[in-house]
Amino acid sequence: MADCEKLKQCPFFRAELAYMPKTAARLKETYCRGDSRGCARYLVVSNGILPPADLFPNDREQALKILSNQNR
């Protein structure tokens, strides 16, 4: 898989997340350098919405809530 097209602008990818480095590395490998289409942040930004800073790539449920609230 190719790197996510949003990689350079993504605050999650640029973050060090010192309090959970192994988890962050795993998430980055899975979503940022893997299948970005499954990334919650990618889903939100692809719909023209700036994702909140605390949205993790694996938090698809929260991404769907954000999108649902946007369409109201």
DSSP the chain: -PPPTTGGG-HHHH---TTSHHHHHHHIIIIITT-GGG-HHHHHHTTT-PPPTT--TT-HHHHHHHHHHHT-
CA 31 – CA 58 distance, rounded (Å): 8
Q: Is residue 1 part of a domain?
A: no
Q: Is residue 2 part of a domain?
A: no
Structural domain harbouring 44: 7-70
Task: Name the domain count of the chain.
Answer: 1
Q: Is residue 15 part of a domain?
A: yes
Residue-level pLDDT at 70? 77
- Dump pLDDT digits (tens) for 14-48: 887 778 889 989 999 999 999 899 999 999 999 99
Write down the pTM of the prediction.
Answer: 0.86
